[in-house]
Amino acid sequence: MIQKMLDKPWGVTDELRRLIVLPYIRLLFAANGIAWGCGWRVFGAPIIQRHRRSVILLGDRLDLRSWPSSNPLAPNHPVVLATRTASAIIRIGQDCGLTGATVVAASSVELGDRVLVGANAVIVDTDFHPLSPAERRADLSAARTSPIRIDDDVFIGMYSLILKGVHIGAGSVVGAGSVVSRAVPPGVVVAGNPARIVRQVC
């Protein structure tokens, strides 16, 4: 334990900061109507924009990293959790970790257990705006939305984009910087833009 602290002194600093701001962070979640789970480790305040009639449910032992110093990939913004409609749902299972990740649900975004979301990845179930100019002029917010489901043990690489309607099967891996716009079966590695299967997970 002591050796670990001597080897990685920045971890000690971050842990102290985490404990100092813990009351504020707990207040932030409470003010947003999000129940605090067991064993959470929250490094820095996330950005939370919860539609007051929507649901955000976060599982136990969640690890959220928003401070740049909280991860060597130095997230370039805090974790974002945003629900945009009364019926929107964000549900994150147990033992998940997100670093500077953005999760936006107009419909639903569900992560299973032990899902890891790498630095600055974005998971968004809506296009935000309609595609045709006429529809945009009529209603800028009338975007297409489609639920996202990310199954247990998925690992999403840094700077990836997960777009509307995507289902990622259990144990699959999304390569860094990928754009995932189609379903991913379980147990594979996908990469690229648009993401394609590059191999099986060993």
Ligand X SMILES: CC(C)(COP(=O)(O)OP(=O)(O)OC[C@H]1O[C@@H](n2cnc3c(N)ncnc32)[C@H](O)[C@@H]1OP(=O)(O)O)[C@@H](O)C(=O)NCCC(=O)NCCS
Structural tokens at position 107: 């419909």
Q: Which uninterrupted H or E stretch holds 94?
A: none
Structural tokens at position 202: 């060993």
Q: Is 179 in the site for ligand X (CB under 6 A)?
A: yes
Q: For tokens 């394609």, what's the residue?
A: 196
Least spacing, CB of residue 143 vs ligand X, in Å: 8
CA distance linking residue 26 with residue 35, whole number of Å:
9
Does residue 129 carry a catalytic annotation? yes
Q: Is 194 in the site for ligand X (CB under 6 A)?
A: yes
Query: Is 170 within 8 Å of 141 (Cβ atoms)?
Result: no
Q: For tokens 């707990």, what's the residue?
A: 26
Straight-line distance from the first to the last Cα atom of the chain, in angstroms, rounded to the nearest whole number: 32
Q: Is 185 in the site for ligand X (CB under 6 A)?
A: no
Least spacing, CB of residue 41 vs ligand X, in Å: 30
Which among 15-23, 92-100, 121-129, 170-178 is the span making contact with ligand X, rule CB under 6 A? 121-129
Least spacing, CB of residue 179 vs ligand X, in Å: 4
Among residues 85, 128, 167, 176, the one that binds ligand X under rule CB under 6 A: 128
Count interface residues toward ligand X (CB under 6 A): 10
Positive or negative: CA dihedral 124, 88, 63, 171? negative
Q: Is 127 in the site for ligand X (CB under 6 A)?
A: yes
Among residues 193, 197, 199, 201, the one that binds ligand X under rule CB under 6 A: 193
Least spacing, CB of residue 141 vs ligand X, in Å: 11
Q: Is 182 in the site for ligand X (CB under 6 A)?
A: yes
Among residues 163, 184, 189, 191, the one that binds ligand X under rule CB under 6 A: 163
Query: Is 178 within 8 Å of 190 (Cβ atoms)?
Result: yes
Which among 1-9, 21-29, 48-56, 123-131 is the span making contact with ligand X, rule CB under 6 A? 123-131
Least spacing, CB of residue 45 vs ligand X, in Å: 23
Query: In a 3-state reduction of DSSP, which class is residue 90?
Result: strand
How many helices (H) and strands (E) would you count in the chain?
A: 3, 19
* Residue whose C-alpha is closest to residue 119's, from 172, 65, 83, 167: 65
Catalytic sites, residue numbers: 129
Which residues are at the interface with ligand X (CB under 6 A)?
127-129, 131, 163, 179, 181-182, 193-194
